[in-house]
Amino acid sequence: MDQTWQVERPARVALFVTCLVDQFFPEVGEATVKVLERVGVQVEFPEEQTCCGQVLLNDGFREEAAALARHFVEVFEPYEAVVAPSGSCVAAVREFYPQLLRGTALEGQTQQVAHRTYELGEFLVRVLGVTRLGARLCGRVTYHPSCHLLRGLGTGACAERLIRNVEGVEFVPLRRPEACCGFGGIFSVKFGAVSEAMLEDKLADLGATGADVVVGTDVSCLMHLRGALQRRASPVRTLHLAELLAMESE
């Protein structure tokens, strides 16, 4: 757990905010900036950035996804580190970009960019060695690690550690944290009923913990959970890891 990646601590990082955060949850982007600045990292926001292309890639539109991968690499190539508040977007960059752009002129740069793109929790714990942000939240909190963070990047434990270290948090684990929430991008549209069934089980698990707040590292899963919680008028709140960590002691 205490192991850190053998990389130099970057003084300056580029924020890849992700399209979902940019369009739907800008507060998560702001919280990410706040957290990074609090630990002394200077944040830049390259305004040419758009989307990692994961939705196209996962749906089989390889050429279109490759075009977005090229765009991403060109935009983020000049930075020594890229941080994103999303496990699945980072997994797409790290796992799939090198395959997508293999044999192209950008192959070398792609590998480098892929290596220095980090999910927020992973960046804090593994790169900076920071596990305590001085955040505070009173309540029962549970954690849903996204599938791509947990099994794609293998860094699900970083976020959990950060959450557990938030002052005032009573951490209550899900019975099956590893179970997919059923979002899966296009999957939730093509197989709406299956997606709903998976979501219902996740919500039941969530309900059984008695948590007031569910924290996640990906707004995709969170918007899925929130969409159903909101429809049911549930008092349970969804929070992105960045939002939780940005909460200051009162």
Q: Which is nearer to other proteins, 138 or 194 (CB)?
A: 194
As a whole number of angstroms, the distance between CA 168 and CA 133 comes to 13
> According to CB under 8 A, which one of 105, 231, 235, 250 is a site residue for other proteins?
231
The C-alpha torsion from 38 through 43 and 45 to 50, rounded to 10°, is -70
Looking at beta carbons only, is 125 or 147 nearer to other proteins?
A: 147
Q: Are 28 and 46 in contact (CB under 8 A)?
A: no
Nearest distance from residue 232's CB to other proteins, in Å?
Answer: 9
Helix axes 107-115, 62-76, angle to 10 degrees: 70
Q: Which of residues 166-195 bind other proteins (CB under 8 A)?
A: 178-180, 182-195
Distance, in Å, from the CA atom of 114 to the CA atom of 95, rounded to the nearest integer, reads 8
Q: Is 90 in the site for other proteins (CB under 8 A)?
A: no
The site for other proteins, by CB under 8 A, has a size of 68
Q: Which is nearer to other proteins, 56 or 169 (CB)?
A: 56
Where do the H-state alpha helices sit in 77-191? 87-91, 97-100, 107-115, 120-122, 147, 156-164, 187-190
What are phi and psi for residue 119, nearest 5 degrees? -80, 150
Q: Tell me if 199 contacts other proteins by CB under 8 A.
A: yes
Binding status of residue 157 toward other proteins by CB under 8 A: no
Q: Which residues bind other proteins (CB under 8 A)?
A: 17, 19, 21-27, 29-30, 42-43, 45, 47-51, 53, 55-65, 67-68, 71, 147-148, 150-152, 178-180, 182-200, 223-224, 226-228, 230-231
